[in-house]
Amino acid sequence: MASTPDPITENAAAELRAADGRVPGRRGRATRQKLLEQTIEMLQNTSFRDLKVVDIARGAGTSPATFYQYFPEVESAVLVLAEEMSMEVATLAVLVRDHSWKGKAAYPTALGLVDGFMDFWERYRALLRVVDLATEEGDQRFRKIRSGLLNELTVALAEVVEDLKKTSKHPDDLDPMATAGVLVSMLAHVSSHRFGFEFWGIRTGDLRRSMARVIYSTMTGARPPAS
């Protein structure tokens, strides 16, 4: 009986291809993943520019030579992590598209989006900081990821606004994409400066409710509930 082939699509194979051009097998992919996990773990407490291949390899229980089999430099490993992070934004778009924005269900939907976004930002805070830094420094690879990072979420919100305009009390000149862009910018800015707000005495719970109410009112055109 023939052995079952290792299932991997052509696109996935291209993305996983090692520095020497070979596509790694299961063990190789496990090693690659361990190196990526160690990289993002070290980014929590180490400056991006101070991150060294030897330290990542040691933390992952392997050697620098093995690291270089998969990534030509630290930036390449971080870039892979950033690309994987950008794909997770699709889960935020699902929170918009697969939940109701009508009636009593609208406010819980807005609150769910806020919670999902803040959780996403917290999980990837260190990586987002690196993406912003590399983008500011002119790295076009990171700039491409940064510019498209929240696009799918913005489009999802714009689609809902466009649909709700037909039945809700929205101004005639309301632009759905601009409106969605403002909401996403608010979510990103507040999530990014969450601890600064706490230093000012503004509790995260209050930030959460305030953003949910802004989103609710903007999306539905209605006054937000008291709680």
176-183: long-range contacts, CB 8 A cutoff, minimum separation 24 = 179/218, 180/154, 180/155, 180/156, 181/154, 182/218, 183/157, 183/214, 183/215, 183/218, 183/219
The type of residue at 114 is V
What is the pLDDT at residue 219?
93
What is the pLDDT at residue 10?
41
- Regarding whether 63 and 169 lie in a shared domain, the answer is no
Whether 5 is in a domain gets the answer no
pLDDT of 46 > 90? The answer is no
- Regarding whether 96 and 39 lie in a shared domain, the answer is no
pLDDT of 211 > 90? The answer is yes
- Regarding whether 82 and 44 lie in a shared domain, the answer is no
| Radius of gyration of the chain measured on its C-alpha atoms | 21
Band the pLDDT of 11: cuts 50, 70, 90. very low
- Regarding whether 101 and 37 lie in a shared domain, the answer is no
What is the pLDDT at residue 2?
40
CATH number, domain containing residue 146: 1.10.357.10
What is the pLDDT at residue 190?
94
Rounded to the nearest integer, the mean pLDDT of the chain is: 86
- Mean pLDDT confidence for 171-178: 88
pLDDT of 23 > 80? The answer is no
- Mean pLDDT confidence for 180-194: 94
What is the pLDDT at residue 8?
42
- Regarding whether 204 and 120 lie in a shared domain, the answer is yes
What is the pLDDT at residue 227?
65
What value, to the nearest 5°, has the Cα angle with vertex 97 and ends 93 and 99?
115
Band the pLDDT of 62: cuts 50, 70, 90. very high
For residue 100, give its domain range.
Answer: 78-220
pLDDT of 106 > 80? The answer is yes
- Regarding whether 112 and 45 lie in a shared domain, the answer is no
Domains in the chain, number: 2
DSSP 9: -
- Regarding whether 118 and 104 lie in a shared domain, the answer is yes
Neighbours of 188 (CB within 10 A): 16
Select the more confidently predicted residue: 227 or 192. Answer: 192
Six-digit token string for 212: 């949910």
pLDDT of 124 > 70? The answer is yes
pLDDT of 198 > 90? The answer is no
pLDDT, tens digit (0-9, with 9 covering 90-100), for 65-92: 999 999 999 989 999 999 999 888 889 9
What is the pLDDT at residue 13?
41
